Structure 1
Amino acid sequence: MWAHALSFSALPHVGGFLGWFFTRKEVATWFESLKKPSWRPPNKLFPVAWTTLYTSMGYASYLVWRDLGGFNSKAIVPLGLYGAQLALNWTWTPIFFGAHNLKLALVDVLCLYGLVLSTMYAWYPINKMATILMLPYLAWLTLASSLTYCIWRDNPKQEKGKRK
């Protein structure tokens, strides 16, 4: 069973790594040119936070999978919600850093927030510890949503295709 736990814990890192790999140069160039709120965390904190959060949410999904007896009809909704939120999580980076589409990134993160809440609601009766493991992620998404909103609001001409 440890191999399953390890696999589930590693899965979220795949999309996170790919998003970072294809957009990493945008942080030092485009992102640094944006107006950002003074309360934003330093850039060095983001990889540490996401490594911790991805591992935690991945392990939480393993707990739900295990308690449901694997992928079966009982797992469709709780693990489907998890998969959907993970997909939205993975798309935020290419939308924000790759496409420079601040408005769509804001829509993405707000939908992601709703899906994470829904995932936690679905997981609570199955495994309370899995739900608790999602709380730091929800807290970070609160920060990320606020940060995305402020960047979108304060940089109306920074999206691709718009004149500066």
Structure 2
Amino acid sequence: MIRKRPLLLDLAGLLGFVILSFSAAAIGTAATIPNLSPWYAGLRKPPWIPPSSLFGPVWTVLYLLMSLAAWLVWRHRNTHREDVQTALGCFVFQLALNAAWSWLFFGLHQTGLAFAEILSLWLVIAATILSFFKISRGAALLLVPYLLWVSFAAVLNGAIHRLN
């Protein structure tokens, strides 16, 4: 017998992960926006830094992909209960680290501490991808662009720290 998933529950789950992910974004943005000028604008940056206008759209897409990935894993909660709990725990932990980075870098102006923290974030994203892969390959693949962007952000953070 095939069990159908309740559509409303699935949609509520997806909405919940979108709200969770964008809440982390909002927490980070609260530290970022007030410090873009004059602090961040006054920092020396490498010549290969992308235009500031690129960051918002890229992060929006990444948060949407993260939400979808977590939702795909959550949908397996009845068949892979312990794995799903572990995977979603990793997901929530990386979201917390994601938001904390903005507060370290922009809010507290601690570029060196932010660099150390983003390396931890990278490791937790990698662990999240591995834990998602055990449940849903598609969900794991949705997080790969995020890992790549955070890899770039880590290099950029390190370069800014070194230059200043």
TM-score by length of 2: 0.89
Q: Match for residue 4 of structure 2?
A: none
Q: Distance between the aligned counterparts of 1:52 and 1:13, measured in 2? A: 11
Deviation at 1:22, TM superposition (A): 3.8
AA aligned to 1:13 is: F
**1:61/1:130 contact within 8 Å kept:** yes
Q: Does 1:60 align with 2:63?
A: no
- CA drift of 1:111 comes to 0.3
User: Which residue number in structure 1 is paired with residue 44 of structure 2?
Assistant: 35
Select which of 78, 82, 95 maps to 1:73: 82
Which blocks of at least 5 consecutive residues in structure 2 are unaligned? 1-9
CA distance in 1, matches of 2:115, 2:17: 27
How far apart, CA to CA, are the structure 2 residues paired with 1:22 and 1:40? Answer: 20
- In the alignment, which residue of structure 1 is the partner of 2:115? 106
**Distance in 1 (alpha carbons) for counterparts of 2:131 and 2:20:** 20
| CA distance, structure 2, for counterparts of residue 45 and residue 89 of structure 1 | 18
Q: CA deviation at 1:69?
A: 2.6
- Say which of 11, 31, 56 aligns to 2:20: 11
Match of 1:44 among 50, 53, 58: 53
* Number of equivalences: 155
Q: Partner residue of 1:159?
A: none
CA distance in 2, matches of 1:107, 1:71: 33
Pair 5,47 (structure 1): closer, same or farther in 2 beyond 3 Å: same
Q: 1:127 Cα shift? A: 0.3
Verify: 1:153 aligned to 2:162, yes or no: yes
Q: TM-score, normalised by structure 1?
A: 0.89
| Aligned-residue CA RMSD (Å) | 1.6
Deviations 1:17-53 (A, max 9, x none): 1221343121121001111111111111111111110
Moved over 6 A (4+): none
Kindly indicate whether the alpha-carbon contact (under 8 Å) linking 1:35 and 1:154 is maintained by their aligned counterparts in 2. Answer: yes
Aligned-residue offset at 1:84: 1.0
From 127, 149, 160, the equivalent of 2:136 is 127
**Mind listing any 5+ residue stretches in structure 1 that lack a counterpart?**
156-164
1:83 is the counterpart of 2:64 = no
Is the 1:60–1:131 contact (alpha carbons within 8 Å) kept by the matching residues of 2? yes
> What letter corresponds to residue 115 of structure 2 in structure 1?
L
User: Deviations 1:98-131 (Å, cap 9, x if unpaired)?
Assistant: 1000111001100000011111111112001101
